[in-house]
């Protein structure tokens, strides 16, 4: 999506806006590519100049775009971010008619879904699932179940936004279905408390049957459950928090990159906290390359 965020020096009634490109899974894809993971992004865009810029931007980051479908006459989604003095953000969306919503209803959809079997891992989020109707989700879930049998792992980030789910009971059932499919679930207490009402960490994590679950806590820490064993991983202290946008997305990228390299779940969680700690010190979803933690950047 097109991302509009507050510029420095904004005044009430006269905000300065910076235009970037973002979106939760796109943020994760960019950070995965920066961490040396060969990554393709699967989505639909329009045939407009903004979509052209997105494609070039992603390619510049090393994200593969061969699975991006261009839909004539459509546009990307748009969202604006406002942050308070503590760096916490609020989102405002305009994406009802975005091209991405059509991804599972296009002539190319069958080819795209079939191609997923060729990947080591497929990553998606709760926002991904909110874009599609029941038929599209059913088609996607059937594909994910099939490719898992062939050895492709499925990673799911809970990333719950109430605005994307007019009927919360629908969201609860879709998430339960996705939990049954996913090999790795990257969750947060905030997401699942909002969705299911659970408040105790054990209640939240017990809702997820996957063998590998990472639960980000309200405090700077996470609980990693792998094969029934829980480990708490504390985050290193960070400096001033400027903007929490993409903190979770970057955590997911670093966690998955580490796991794909053979790191333990606890080591992967520490990598996730390091990258997220760097991301929250900058405005916008994608931080400058120079700001990437040096020990998390793939050496070439």
For the chain, the structural domain boundaries read 24-72+108-292
Average pLDDT over the chain, rounded to an integer? 91
Buried b (16+ CB within 10 A) or exposed e, 207-225: bbebebbbbbbeeeebbbb
Hey, what CATH topology would domain 24-72+108-292 get?
A: 3.40.1190
Asked whether 255 and 246 are in contact (CB, 8 A), the reply is: no
Q: Which of 24, 157, 191, 249 is catalytic?
A: 249
Task: For 138-150, write each residue's pLDDT tens digit.
Answer: 999 999 999 999 9
As a whole number, mean pLDDT of residues 108-132 equals 97
Above 50 in pLDDT, residue 300? no
Rounded to two decimals, the pTM is: 0.91
Query: What is the rounded distance in angstroms from the CA atom of residue 167 to the CA atom of residue 177?
Result: 16
* 113 closest CA partner among 152, 57, 75: 152
**What's residue 299's pLDDT?**
41
**What's residue 239's pLDDT?**
84
Q: Which two tokens stand for residue 20?
A: 């970037």
* 71 closest CA partner among 31, 40, 98: 98
Proportion of the chain in helix, strand, coil states, percent, rounded to 5:
40, 20, 35
| CA atoms lying within 13 Å on the CB side of residue 73 | 1
- pLDDT-wise least confident of 80-89, 105-114, 126-135, 282-291: 80-89
Active site residue 24: no
* 76 closest CA partner among 102, 50, 58: 50
The residue length of the chain stands at 300
Above 80 in pLDDT, residue 205? yes
Query: What is the rounded distance in angstroms from the CA atom of residue 14 to the CA atom of residue 168?
Result: 36
Query: What is the rounded distance in angstroms from the CA atom of residue 70 to the CA atom of residue 50?
Result: 12
**What's residue 152's pLDDT?**
98
Above 90 in pLDDT, residue 279? yes
């Amino acid at each position: 999506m097109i991302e509009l965020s507050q510029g420095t020096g904004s005044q009430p009634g006269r905000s300065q806006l910076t235009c970037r490109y973002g979106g939760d899974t796109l943020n994760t894809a960019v950070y995965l590519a920066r961490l040396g993971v060969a990554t393709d992004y699967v989505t639909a865009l329009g045939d407009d100049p903004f979509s052209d810029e997105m494609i070039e931007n992603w390619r510049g980051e090393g994200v593969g775009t061969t699975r991006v479908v261009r839909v004539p006459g459509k546009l990307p989604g748009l969202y604006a971010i406002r942050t308070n003095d503590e760096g916490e953000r609020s989102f405002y969306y305009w994406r009802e008619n975005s091209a991405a919503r059509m991804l599972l209803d296009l002539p190319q959809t069958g080819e795209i879904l079939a191609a997923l079997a060729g990947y080591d891992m497929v990553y998606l989020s709760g926002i991904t699932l909110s874009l599609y109707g029941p038929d599209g989700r059913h088609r996607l879930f059937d594909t994910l179940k099939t490719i898992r049998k062939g050895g492709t792992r499925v990673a799911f980030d809970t990333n719950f936004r109430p605005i994307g789910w007019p009927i919360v009971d629908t969201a609860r059932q879709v998430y339960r279905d996705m939990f049954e499919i996913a090999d790795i679930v990257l969750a947060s207490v905030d997401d699942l408390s909002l969705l299911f009402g659970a408040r105790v960490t054990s209640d939240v994590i017990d809702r997820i049957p996957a063998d590998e679950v990472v639960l980000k806590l309200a405090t700077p820490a996470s609980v990693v459950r792998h094969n029934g064993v829980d480990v708490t991983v504390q985050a290193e202290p960070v400096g001033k928090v400027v903007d929490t946008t993409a903190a979770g997305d970057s955590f997911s990228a670093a966690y998955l990159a580490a796991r794909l390299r053979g790191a333990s779940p606890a080591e992967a969680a520490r990598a996730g906290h390091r990258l997220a700690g760097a991301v929250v010190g900058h405005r916008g979803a994608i931080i400058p390359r120079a700001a990437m933690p040096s020990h998390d950047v793939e050496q070439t």
